[in-house]
A and B are shown apart, each in its own frame.
Chain A
Amino acid sequence: MAQVRLDNLKKTYPNGFKAIHGVDVDIQDGEFLVLVGPSGCGKSTLLRMIAGLESISEGVLTIGERQVNDLEPADRDIAMVFQNYALYPHMSVFDNMAYGLKIRGIDKSEIRERVKKAADILELTDEQLSRKPRQLSGGQRQRVAMGRAIVREPSVFLFDEPLSNLDAKLRVQMRIEIRQLQERLGITSVYVTHDQVEAMTLGHRLVVLNEGRVEQLGTPIELYERPASLFVAGFIGSPAMNFATAQINGQGTAVALPGGAEFTLAEGVYPSHADRTVTLGIRPEDLTLSEKAQDNCVLTASLVEHLGADTLVHGHFGTDQTDMTVRLSGIRRVEKAQQLPLEILPEKLHLFDPESEKRLA
């Protein structure tokens, strides 16, 4: 168990490509931190730098009290779960889990005890322990890979997209298991994923990475409620946030779309931004049907998707052609071209500077 500190970590490849542009994160003891971002954003590279599989070009990495920049992976007191599990195919499940312990020269009876304990936690039977990895299902292999990490009793767990090779149902189940396991063992964990649902459900805190830079660091709720940039706003949440170019009025009290729809802004927050052109962000689930039938906030439906629990309505406000998605709970009979009066709470509106793509106020 340990704190992990990333202090201005940078990675430059020999061909001059900069993969990571200075990342600062303090990971608390026992914290579950998720690195999330689209493919190619550098999240796996960052994880591999923590593991010691990629060299650190600049900056300082400390695990516990030790600076580990130049230590071999084996000496960093970490364990890693790989995307393809990386189980040794010629060894039995037991030997797979015992391999790291054998190398560390731990005596046989203790190895057996520790493997047994890990197998119990992961509900692997004795019969499964004697099998080869290829005789196991995807979910079982996943468990073995985690077992191999657990038996080592490391200070830090590293997960590199461990659920991406599983089918959707198993993924949800394993996600819960990983979360429970981490809470039970209380080991500091760093988890890489491109799946925002996984990120939101697993992490105590999330780091959203984009092109090697930290876009935002915060709890899942913070990221959802107050995304710091257009990128984070668009990345977190499903269906994705609606964006439209809009204009703040002269008093800073309302924001209007070119097509005529107008939304009241939270009081006293935006006076300094009066008359500005902004990018308006609205989460599909924040729009609700209005009883008052305000005629300036009416969506013309163009496509309706019934998901059962929710109904997704695609359409546009007035004459503005920007596509908007609205998520209404339950089953709603909405016809094509139907006019839906909508409303939204002022504090649910997200305003971004179109130039810097950063959040306003």
Chain B
Amino acid sequence: MLKRVHFGPSVLPFLLVAPQIIITLVFFIWPTSHALYQSLLIEDAFGLSTEFVWFENFEVLFEDEHYLGAFERTTIFSLLVASSSMGFSLVLAAMADRVIKGSMAYRTFLIWPYAVAPVVAGALWVFMLDPTLGILTYGLGAMGYEWNHKLNGGEAMGLVVVAAAWKQVAYNFLFFLAAMQSIPKSLIEAAAIDGAGPVRRFCTIIFPLISPTTFFLLVVNVVYAFFDTFGIIHAVTQGGPAKSTEILVYKVYNDGFVGLDLGGSAAQSVILMIIVIGLTVIQFKYIEKKVEY
């Protein structure tokens, strides 16, 4: 007979999980529940009186053309960021996958931008493209193009897209490269013997085989563009000119902390929360479907 081992009651397991639970409670559950509650309130700008209004804040939001405009802008912005950063890093990864000499150096340099904080990345691009001081502005001027993202909404959008995508290229590159290197080499060789050139091999063998990674990155990039680009926008355009770069997450900040419409701002953040939950569900559901080689 095997002796059954009994563990006496101990506080140690509770102590060990306590930090994680406390962090979750303080930084996630508490603010979330507060936002949920606040989205049902209307508060005056001085915080002297509040009124419980059920879903009136949401009703107002969906009739507000500025809010719907921000929705549309965010969609365009995140699609542009996701497609440009993924497309660019896919090309880089495909090239780095073929390199043999100095591949470590390439990889290290390509991974660096990921370590840069969003605000710093934004500041970097602001300096380079400042309408009066920027070196790239100067270069564009020499080619006869007058760059001024402080006046031109399209240019401002272009600038935040470039800054946001640039930062994400490193992350995407890492995942694409890892996916490409996990494809057995003999598959590529078999395709070469079958007569497929490098471009054909990429399109018919490599790209289909890395599609689970591509899908994962698409979700991650959309989430990034939706939420993590606040710092970049704040540093580069503050949502301007004329709200042309005001995406949803920036509008939450602008309406709440600048406009002091706390109820409306909370309602917006609840909607964002629902979007991120939806995206996460999609990601988990499809990412489980593994591809066998």
Measured CB to CB, the closest approach of chain B to A287, in angstroms, equals 45
Partner of B190, one of A72, A82, A90, A104: A82
A100 & B291 in contact (Cβ 8 Å cutoff): no
Chain B residues, CB < 8 A from A13: none
**B194 to chain A: closest residue by CB:** A100
List, in ascending order, chain B residues with CB within 8 A of A86's CB.
Answer: 184, 186-187, 189-190
Judge if A192 is at the interface, Cβ distance under 8 Å: no
Q: A100-B195, A103-B194 are in contact. Are A88 and B292 (CB under 8 A)?
A: no
Q: Chain B interface mostly helix, strand, loop or mixed?
A: helix
Q: Which of B191, B208, B292 contacts A134 (CB 8 A)?
A: B292
Q: Which of B186, B192, B209 contacts A90 (CB 8 A)?
A: B209
CB of A189 to closest CB in B, whole Å: 15
Give B200 Cβ to nearest chain A Cβ, in Å.
Answer: 7
What is the CA–CA distance of A204 and B213 in the complex, to the nearest angstrom?
47
A80 CB within 8 Å of chain B: yes
Q: B186, B195, B204: which contacts A82 (Cβ < 8 A)?
A: B186
Query: Do A73 and B193 form a contact, CB below 8 Å, given A89-B209, A89-B293?
Result: yes
Of residues 87 through 101 on chain A, the ones whose CB sits less than 8 Å from some CB of chain B are 87-90, 99-100
Interface residues on chain B, number (Cβ under 8 Å): 20
**At the interface, yes or no: B218 with Cβ under 8 Å from chain A?**
no
B205 at the interface (CB under 8 A from A): yes
Nearest opposing residue in chain B for A89, CB measure: B293
Confirm or deny: B272 has a beta carbon within 8 angstroms of a beta carbon on chain A: no
Q: Which residues of A contact B209 (CB under 8 A)?
A: 89-90
B196 proximal to A (CB < 8 A)? yes
Q: Residue B194 contacts which of A74, A83, A84, A90 (CB distance < 8 angstroms)?
A: A74
Q: A89-B209, A90-B208, A90-B209 are in contact. Are A84 and B192 (CB under 8 A)?
A: no
What's the least CB distance linking B292 to chain A, in Å? 5
Digitize B188-223: 1 where CB-to-A-CB distance is under 8 Å, 0 elsewhere.
011111111100100011001100000000000000
| Contact indicator A80/B200 (Cβ below 8 Å) | no
Contact with A along B252-293 (1 / 0, CB 8 A): 000000000000000000000000000000000000000111
Most central of B186, B205, B208 by chain A CB within 10 Å: B186
Chain B proximity of A77: nearest CB distance (Å): 10
Docked Cα-Cα span, A88 to B187, in Å, equals 7
* C-alpha gap A152/B191 in the complex (Å): 13
A78 within 8 A of B: yes
The CA-CA distance from A52 to B205 in the complex, in Å, is 20
Look across to chain B and name the residue whose beta carbon is closest to the beta carbon of A133: B292
Residues of A close to B194: CB separation below 8 A: 74, 99-100, 103, 148, 152
**CB of A98, distance to nearest CB on chain B (Å):** 10
Is B291 a contact of A53 with CB atoms below 8 Å?
A: no
Q: Select from chain B the residue with minimum beta-carbon distance to A104.
A: B195
The A-contacting residues of B in range 164-195, CB under 8 angstroms, are: 184, 186-187, 189-195
Q: Are A73 and B192 in contact (CB under 8 A)?
A: yes
Is B291 a contact partner of A74 (Cβ separation < 8 A)? no
List A residues at the B interface (Cβ < 8 Å): 51-53, 72-74, 78-80, 82-84, 86-90, 99-100, 103-104, 134, 148, 152
14 A-B pairs, CB-CB below 8 angstroms? A53-B192, A53-B193, A80-B189, A84-B184, A86-B184, A86-B189, A88-B191, A89-B209, A90-B209, A100-B194, A100-B195, A103-B196, A103-B200, A148-B190
11 additional A-B pairs beyond A74-B192, A84-B186, A88-B205, beta carbons within 8 Å, are: A53-B189, A72-B192, A74-B194, A80-B193, A82-B186, A84-B184, A88-B191, A99-B194, A99-B196, A103-B195, A134-B292
